[in-house]
Structure 1
Amino acid sequence: MINGETIKLSDLKGKVVLVNYWATWCAPCLIEFAEFPEKILEPFKNKDFILIAISRGEEKERVQKKMSQLEKYGVNFNVGIDPDEKIWDQYATGALPKSFVIDQNGIIKYISIGNSEGNVDNLATEIKKLLVK
Structure 2
Amino acid sequence: MSTVIEQTVEARLVAAAPRMPSIPATLHYDRCDPFAVRMTFPAPATLEGVEVCWTFSRELLSAGIEEPQGHGDVRVRPYGYDRTVMEFHAPEGTAVVHVRTGELRRFLKAADELVPAGLEHLQLDLDHGLAELMRDAC
Q: Which has the larger radius of gyration?
A: 2
Tell me if both proteins adopt one fold, taking TM over 0.5 as the criterion: no
Q: Which has the higher contact order (CA 8 A, sep 6+)?
A: 1
Q: Please identify which structure carries the higher helix content.
A: 1
- Give the structure with the higher percent strand: 2
Name the TM-score, length of structure 1 as normaliser: 0.25
TM-score, scaled to structure 2: 0.25
